[in-house]
Structure 1
């Protein structure tokens, strides 16, 4: 596992344990930056290898919102709560049930935390996550962060944006071009912590992961700066860590107005050392 975080002082953390495993395994590469405009980062990213086995993976990208820096509190809570629940119940529930229950409990906890602190009242966060188990991928999602799949050189968006503008597009009120440039494109219909109830997108049936697949989870700061064609070109790069360096350089050069964060997950066969169980980051 190679783990890349980027901010003004870029660092690389590469940690491995002595245990090895065979078959299709996951490697995770990550970047989270404040960006050239914002003064702090409200994104959080996290991942964990259940049972200390890199055949298994839980990964989350969250993009927070709220006054008094409450967005960064909400996004970190989402990452912590989703990972903690899934790890605790890993052997007791199916991945689909894990995700559904984890999102429900995370939402209730974030709402309660906001209600108990006037400076954090109304805070919320997107949360886009994947579970990899027995070579099958499952998705949990709420908000407008995204998960993409690159397979056989083609990029597909697997998550559905929970935004007012995307709803307008799906109902035929606006075109795809109008959707992508609409001034209200970031108005959310759903997020953890902001509504009485939630209906997260849970892809509970899952689909088989193939060698060579790449999953890409990102906050909206990424696709605000890069088109789907740009993202596809990045994910086609042979070296994932270089792809994320290029993402960071491009988003900065284009003066993206938001924080930007991404997790790039690759799948290979062979013998790999298993990394430490959990990594997470919120860069201020």
Structure 2
């Protein structure tokens, strides 16, 4: 099961987030992006990122090196955004985050650029798989601020890595066994800036995928998120093959 919601949020006139996924036999792919730039530019960047990445993945489903496939797909998206940004003055400087998850052959390959997140739940445990490419994350890593101080830091929205801002991009890759994860959550920072991991766990643990998405977005808006909010909730090992896989 999978459910997706992308909400404009409380304070924006346009939704610059974009989501996408496909499920074909034993291959599943999910992606989320949070655009940045002037009016419409961020929206264009995030759409290009998701559509290009999906196109490259779907065209190379027989590839055995899934990590390289993911890097190539995201790099191709980066190139398209960067080139378009340099050709059109109205789109100059546009960029986007991207976070993806490809599940195939009992392997989950997660990739990210920027500060959109991939989160995993197993039982009543939750952990964030990706690490934000952001100024605040760098301050946390250096010990200059604490996790608590980061929650309300004035530079919370400054990201240090994005698609489309340079001719090439570094992609972080994480490998998991999907059989060890009951639910994955992909989300933009419109959710994580306001909703704690413990709150995400409580909602997703007690609801199906559709209700989880709805309640996560509702909670983020209730807590005052002015940003776009996008969430994808999907199974790790799917219900119909869970008992078999775990034997």
- Same fold flag (TM > 0.5): yes
Q: 1:114 to 1:212 in 2, by over 3 A?
A: closer
Q: 1:140 aligns with which of 111, 135, 145?
A: 111
Per the alignment, residue 81 of structure 2 pairs with 110
Q: Does 1:63 align with 2:37?
A: no
Q: CA deviation at 1:252?
A: 2.3
Number of residue-to-residue matches in the alignment: 240
Residue 211 of structure 1 contacts residue 269 of structure 1 at CA under 8 Å; is this kept in 2?
Answer: no
Per the alignment, residue 77 of structure 1 pairs with 48
Per the alignment, residue 238 of structure 2 pairs with 268
2: CA distance, partners of 1:253 / 1:48: 31
Per the alignment, residue 39 of structure 1 pairs with 13
- TM-score with structure 2 setting the length: 0.93
Q: 1:200 aligns with which of 137, 147, 171?
A: 171
**Range 81-90 or range 91-100, more displaced:** 91-100
Q: CA deviation at 1:122?
A: 0.8
CA deviation digits over 1:59-111, x for unaligned, max 9? Answer: 10000001121100000000001100111111134110111111111111110
Per the alignment, residue 24 of structure 1 pairs with none
2: CA distance, partners of 1:170 / 1:252: 29
Higher RCO structure, 1 or 2 (CA under 8 Å, sep 6+): 1
* Unpaired runs of at least 5, structure 2: 242-247
1: CA distance, partners of 2:53 / 2:154: 31
**Over aligned residue pairs, what C-alpha RMSD do you find?**
1.4
2: CA distance, partners of 1:222 / 1:33: 10
| SS of match in other structure, 2:161 | coil
Q: Show structure 1 runs of 4+ deviating over 6 A.
A: none
Which of the pair is proportionally richer in helix?
Answer: 2
Q: Does 1:29 align with 2:38?
A: no
Q: CA deviation at 1:195?
A: 2.7
Per the alignment, residue 223 of structure 1 pairs with 192
Q: 1:249 aligns with which of 218, 225, 242?
A: 218
| SS of match in other structure, 1:263 | strand
Residue 74 of structure 1 contacts residue 124 of structure 1 at CA under 8 Å; is this kept in 2?
Answer: yes
1: CA distance, partners of 2:224 / 2:98: 24
